[in-house]
């Protein structure tokens, strides 16, 4: 499928046109359209940006250098490390494949990182206090930029945005996919209600229903990011403050509960 276009989304009979695998143009007649086309969305652009849409955007002064490696797990648990050299994340995909991240400058390049440099930096930031990095063969390297973004409203006419098309979170809280699913869960319910009753009240309230959860998740992802990453131009105060914050959060039952509730996820129903 290619050349997907949404037409007439403010009318009662929107259409989606596209070219099929044989190059023939096809048309889908729609009642409602869900814009679930990810962060490189074209559907978001159908909400007029000067009169209707507000984009809230924040770029962070750090990025993640990510690797996939054939190696045994380094730990039974996911590890988030705040180190004076920068953040590191240790995670397991399968017993044979590990996914690790290092905080780097947003302008850094994959070409600057040999395998030896990556393992040595992971050891420096993570080894000790019960964890030890296990090296292996790196088979993928990429740099992930850090952005927070929310588009309001998440609907226009009969077009309804869901997931990364409407919002992105920095990856520290691992919430992007959860948030996308929560949107789609809610949108599917109000769409079904519309087809069953022809009442638009659920559809019309879609943005107002999902935005509080979107902003709560934005806050959690921002908070985790700012608590765990080395801040540029930090004279030492920032790191000491972060360590004190981590100490407070991990010592207190209320603090641990707050992290757990947000990390595992807020209920789909508000
Ligand atoms: C490296 C990395 C690690 C991540 N780790 C996590 C994690 O641990 N936990 C977590 O919750 N989230 C994670 N995320 C974020 C998560 O992947 C996204 O938030 C989530 O995939 C958003 O889902 P979505 O359906 O909105 O968009 P997408 O998953 O981007 O899906 C959009 C789909 O639309 C298709 N599409 C786009 N335009 C068109 C078009 N014109 N025609 C036809 N099809 C089109 C795309 O091909 C794609 O299949 C991670 C992201 C990255 C990049």
Domains of the chain: which residue ranges? 1-30, 58-146, 169-264
CATH topology of domain 169-264: FAD/NAD(P)-binding domain (3.50.50)
Q: Are 168 and 162 in contact (CB under 8 A)?
A: no
How many contiguous H segments (helices) and E segments (strands) does the chain have? 6, 12
Q: Which residues have C-beta within 8 Å of that of residue 134, sequence separation ≥ 6? A: 71, 72, 73, 74, 98
The single-letter DSSP state of residue 69 is E
Q: Whose CA is nearest to atom 28 of ligand 1?
A: 38
Gap between the Cα atoms of 217 and 238, Å rounded: 23
For the domain spanning 58-146, the CATH number is 3.30.9.10
**How many Cβ atoms sit within 10 Å of the Cβ of residue 164?**
21
Matching CATH topology for 58-146 and 169-264? Answer: no
**Cα(65) to centroid of ligand 1, in Å?**
18
Structure tokens, 88? 């590191």
pTM of the predicted model, to two decimals? 0.93
* pLDDT at residue 183, rounded to an integer: 96
Kindly give the parts of the chain with pLDDT less than 70. Answer: 266-270
Measured from the CB, is residue 174 less than 6 Å from ligand 1?
yes
* pLDDT at residue 270, rounded to an integer: 45
* pLDDT at residue 268, rounded to an integer: 56
* pLDDT at residue 129, rounded to an integer: 74
């Amino acid at each position: 499928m290619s050349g997907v276009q949404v037409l007439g989304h403010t009318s009662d009979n929107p259409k989606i046109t596209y070219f099929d695998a044989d190059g023939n143009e096809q048309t889908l007649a729609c009642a409602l359209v869900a814009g679930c086309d990810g962060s490189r969305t074209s559907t978001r652009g159908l909400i007029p940006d000067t009169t209707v849409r507000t984009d809230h955007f924040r770029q962070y002064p750090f990025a993640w250098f990510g690797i996939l490696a054939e190696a045994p797990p380094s730990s039974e648990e996911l590890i988030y490390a705040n180190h004076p050299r920068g953040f590191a994340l240790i995670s397991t995909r399968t017993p044979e494949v590990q996914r690790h991240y290092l905080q780097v400058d947003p302008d850094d390049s994959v070409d600057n990182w040999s395998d030896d440099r990556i393992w040595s930096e992971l050891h420096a930031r993570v080894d000790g206090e019960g964890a030890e990095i296990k090296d292996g063969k790196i088979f993928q390297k990429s740099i992930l930029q850090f952005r927070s973004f929310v588009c309001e409203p998440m609907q226009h006419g009969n077009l309804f945005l869901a997931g990364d098309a409407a919002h992105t979170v920095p990856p520290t809280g691992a919430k992007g996919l959860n948030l996308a699913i929560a949107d789609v869960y809610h949108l599917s319910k109000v769409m079904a209600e519309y087809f069953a009753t022809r009442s638009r009240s659920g559809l019309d309230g879609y943005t107002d229903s999902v935005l509080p959860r979107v902003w709560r998740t934005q806050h959690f992802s921002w908070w985790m990011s700012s608590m765990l990453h080395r801040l540029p131009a930090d004279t030492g105060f920032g790191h000491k403050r972060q360590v004190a914050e981590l100490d407070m959060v991990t010592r207190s039952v209320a603090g641990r509960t707050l992290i757990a509730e947000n990390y595992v996820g807020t209920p789909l129903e508000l």
